[in-house]
Amino acid sequence: MLPGQKSLTFPLTGKFRAVVLRVAVAPQSPAKAKMKLRVLVDGHEVDSSVAMKKGDAPRLMTVRVHNPRDVGFIVDSATPSVKALLIDPVAIREP
């Protein structure tokens, strides 16, 4: 779980071509919570989710990358106590 306005970065060693995960607003978030998840590769924003609200089904995100050093996530929300669920994040290696 990643709180609103916080970031999380994963270092990657090796060659990767994509990052895949499902994202949702955590059930512990306030009733009217809304958020977007921003994805950063090597410190630069490369993708973001559509706006989601509590109760929405998890959304699949596939982000194409080219041998990144790290991948980061930031939760954007006007609701400070919102939390994001990052479900089964996987970095896909180059063949």
- The full set of domains in the chain, from first to last, is 2-93 (2.60.120.1060)
Q: Is residue 95 very low, low, confident or very high in pLDDT (cuts 50, 70, 90)? A: confident
pLDDT in tens, 12-30: 999 999 999 999 999 999 9
- Dist CA 37 CA 8 (whole Å): 11
Q: Could you give phi then psi for residue 5, rounded to 5 degrees? A: 65, 15
